[in-house]
């Protein structure tokens, strides 16, 4: 049961038509087909899904947590990007 035979796969589930696939977790499986089955058995036991994607975990490139400040801190000061920054005139009514 080594990593070479049973690599890790990331599982994405779409709960309903029209929604995006969301990351649900990960499974070990020998290949993509078996990963789909393992994902089905592990993450759709309570009717959670209509569609499953599996992706080899090694295929995912992740940002480095050490870069957190450089990547994400600068947005903190750009409050104009939030809709709540803008005052909606009363005449507009409900949007």
Contact 1, 51 (CB under 8 A): no
Per CB under 8 A, 25 contacts other proteins: no
**List 24, 27, 52, 54, residue binding other proteins (CB under 8 A):** 27
Classify 92 as helix, strand or coil.
Answer: helix
Which residues ranging from 34 to 93 are in contact with other proteins (CB under 8 A)?
A: 34, 37-38, 41-42, 45
**Contacting residue, 30, 70, 72, 75, with other proteins by CB under 8 A:** 30
Interacting residues with other proteins (CB under 8 A): 1, 5-6, 27-31, 33-34, 37-38, 41-42, 45
């Amino acid at each position: 049961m080594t990593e070479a035979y049973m690599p890790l796969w990331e599982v994405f589930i779409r709960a309903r038509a029209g929604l995006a696939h969301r990351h649900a977790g990960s499974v070990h499986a020998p290949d993509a087909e078996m990963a789909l089955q393992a994902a089905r058995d592990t993450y759709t036991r309570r009717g959670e899904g209509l569609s499953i994607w599996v992706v080899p975990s090694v295929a995912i490139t992740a940002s480095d947590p050490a870069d957190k400040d450089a990547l994400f801190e600068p947005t903190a000061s750009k409050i104009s990007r939030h809709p709540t920054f803008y005052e909606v005139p009363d005449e507009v009514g409900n949007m």
